[in-house]
Amino acid sequence: MAHPAVITSRFLEGAERQRAWGTGLLVVAGLLWIYAAFELFTPYHADRGHCTAPFARDQDTVHAQYDQDSSAVFGSDDHEKAVACAADRDWPKPVAALIIALPLTAVGSSLMTAGTVGARVQRLIRDMEQSTS
Protein backbone atom coordinates (compact mmCIF):
# COMPACT_ATOMS: atom_id res chain seq x y z
CA MET A 1 0.00 0.00 0.00
CA ALA A 2 1.38 3.37 -1.05
CA HIS A 3 2.00 6.22 1.32
CA PRO A 4 -0.63 9.03 1.21
CA ALA A 5 2.03 11.55 0.11
CA VAL A 6 2.87 9.36 -2.90
CA ILE A 7 -0.81 9.03 -3.80
CA THR A 8 -1.27 12.80 -3.51
CA SER A 9 1.82 13.42 -5.62
CA ARG A 10 0.59 11.05 -8.35
CA PHE A 11 -2.83 12.68 -8.32
CA LEU A 12 -1.34 16.16 -8.66
CA GLU A 13 0.91 14.99 -11.50
CA GLY A 14 -2.12 13.57 -13.30
CA ALA A 15 -4.05 16.80 -12.77
CA GLU A 16 -1.14 18.84 -14.15
CA ARG A 17 -0.92 16.50 -17.14
CA GLN A 18 -4.65 16.96 -17.77
CA ARG A 19 -4.27 20.71 -17.56
CA ALA A 20 -1.30 20.65 -19.97
CA TRP A 21 -3.24 18.55 -22.51
CA GLY A 22 -6.22 20.88 -22.18
CA THR A 23 -4.03 23.93 -22.70
CA GLY A 24 -2.41 22.35 -25.77
CA LEU A 25 -5.77 21.49 -27.32
CA LEU A 26 -7.05 25.01 -26.63
CA VAL A 27 -3.98 26.51 -28.31
CA VAL A 28 -4.52 24.35 -31.42
CA ALA A 29 -8.24 25.22 -31.45
CA GLY A 30 -7.39 28.90 -31.05
CA LEU A 31 -5.07 28.78 -34.03
CA LEU A 32 -7.81 27.15 -36.11
CA TRP A 33 -10.30 29.83 -35.01
CA ILE A 34 -7.79 32.55 -35.94
CA TYR A 35 -7.26 30.99 -39.37
CA ALA A 36 -11.01 30.86 -40.03
CA ALA A 37 -11.43 34.47 -38.85
CA PHE A 38 -8.54 35.55 -41.08
CA GLU A 39 -10.24 33.95 -44.08
CA LEU A 40 -13.52 35.67 -43.24
CA PHE A 41 -12.30 39.17 -42.38
CA THR A 42 -9.41 39.83 -44.78
CA PRO A 43 -9.59 40.89 -48.43
CA TYR A 44 -7.95 38.67 -51.03
CA HIS A 45 -6.91 38.57 -54.68
CA ALA A 46 -8.95 36.51 -57.15
CA ASP A 47 -8.85 35.91 -60.90
CA ARG A 48 -10.91 39.05 -61.62
CA GLY A 49 -8.96 41.35 -59.30
CA HIS A 50 -9.07 42.47 -55.69
CA CYS A 51 -11.97 41.10 -53.63
CA THR A 52 -13.30 42.54 -50.40
CA ALA A 53 -13.46 40.42 -47.27
CA PRO A 54 -16.46 38.08 -47.24
CA PHE A 55 -17.70 39.60 -43.98
CA ALA A 56 -17.71 43.12 -45.43
CA ARG A 57 -18.95 42.22 -48.91
CA ASP A 58 -22.13 43.90 -50.12
CA GLN A 59 -24.56 41.01 -50.52
CA ASP A 60 -26.66 42.97 -53.06
CA THR A 61 -23.86 42.63 -55.60
CA VAL A 62 -23.63 38.85 -55.17
CA HIS A 63 -27.32 38.19 -55.56
CA ALA A 64 -29.31 39.21 -58.62
CA GLN A 65 -30.23 42.87 -58.66
CA TYR A 66 -33.68 43.86 -59.83
CA ASP A 67 -34.75 46.99 -61.66
CA GLN A 68 -38.21 48.54 -61.57
CA ASP A 69 -39.60 46.01 -64.05
CA SER A 70 -38.57 43.13 -61.70
CA SER A 71 -36.24 41.70 -64.31
CA ALA A 72 -32.86 40.56 -63.07
CA VAL A 73 -29.74 42.48 -64.05
CA PHE A 74 -27.15 39.71 -64.25
CA GLY A 75 -24.67 41.24 -66.67
CA SER A 76 -23.34 44.12 -64.56
CA ASP A 77 -19.63 44.24 -63.78
CA ASP A 78 -20.25 44.50 -60.02
CA HIS A 79 -22.42 41.41 -60.07
CA GLU A 80 -19.98 39.39 -62.19
CA LYS A 81 -17.01 40.40 -60.03
CA ALA A 82 -18.89 39.59 -56.81
CA VAL A 83 -19.88 36.16 -58.12
CA ALA A 84 -16.29 35.49 -59.25
CA CYS A 85 -14.93 36.59 -55.86
CA ALA A 86 -17.41 34.38 -54.01
CA ALA A 87 -16.53 31.43 -56.24
CA ASP A 88 -12.76 31.96 -55.95
CA ARG A 89 -12.74 31.89 -52.15
CA ASP A 90 -11.68 28.46 -50.95
CA TRP A 91 -14.42 27.84 -48.37
CA PRO A 92 -13.80 24.18 -47.48
CA LYS A 93 -10.57 25.01 -45.63
CA PRO A 94 -11.94 27.58 -43.14
CA VAL A 95 -15.13 25.56 -42.66
CA ALA A 96 -13.06 22.43 -41.97
CA ALA A 97 -10.94 24.44 -39.53
CA LEU A 98 -14.07 25.46 -37.62
CA ILE A 99 -15.45 21.92 -37.65
CA ILE A 100 -12.17 20.60 -36.21
CA ALA A 101 -11.82 23.49 -33.74
CA LEU A 102 -15.21 22.99 -32.11
CA PRO A 103 -14.57 19.55 -30.52
CA LEU A 104 -10.98 20.53 -29.72
CA THR A 105 -12.31 23.53 -27.83
CA ALA A 106 -14.82 21.42 -25.91
CA VAL A 107 -12.35 18.67 -25.00
CA GLY A 108 -9.55 21.13 -24.20
CA SER A 109 -11.83 23.16 -21.94
CA SER A 110 -13.00 20.03 -20.16
CA LEU A 111 -9.49 18.69 -19.60
CA MET A 112 -8.16 22.03 -18.42
CA THR A 113 -11.10 22.52 -16.05
CA ALA A 114 -10.87 18.98 -14.64
CA GLY A 115 -7.12 19.28 -14.10
CA THR A 116 -7.38 22.68 -12.46
CA VAL A 117 -10.26 21.75 -10.17
CA GLY A 118 -8.68 18.42 -9.21
CA ALA A 119 -5.39 20.05 -8.28
CA ARG A 120 -7.09 22.82 -6.31
CA VAL A 121 -9.28 20.38 -4.37
CA GLN A 122 -6.29 18.17 -3.57
CA ARG A 123 -4.32 21.18 -2.35
CA LEU A 124 -7.29 22.29 -0.24
CA ILE A 125 -7.52 18.85 1.36
CA ARG A 126 -3.77 18.88 2.06
CA ASP A 127 -3.95 22.39 3.58
CA MET A 128 -6.92 21.41 5.76
CA GLU A 129 -5.13 18.31 7.02
CA GLN A 130 -2.03 20.35 7.82
CA SER A 131 -4.04 22.97 9.69
CA THR A 132 -5.79 20.36 11.88
CA SER A 133 -2.61 18.51 12.83
DSSP secondary structure letter of residue 24: H
DSSP secondary structure letter of residue 64: P
pTM attached to this predicted model: 0.73
pLDDT greater than 60 at residue 37: yes
Domain count, the chain: 1
In which domain, by residue range, is 62 found? Answer: 4-132
Asked if residue 33 lies in contact with residue 98, where contact means CB atoms within 8 angstroms, the answer is yes
At 60-113, the pLDDT tens digits run 455 544 444 444 455 556 667 667 777 777 788 899 999 999 999 999 999 999
Query: Which one, of 7, 34, 13, lies nearest residue 119 by Cα?
Result: 13
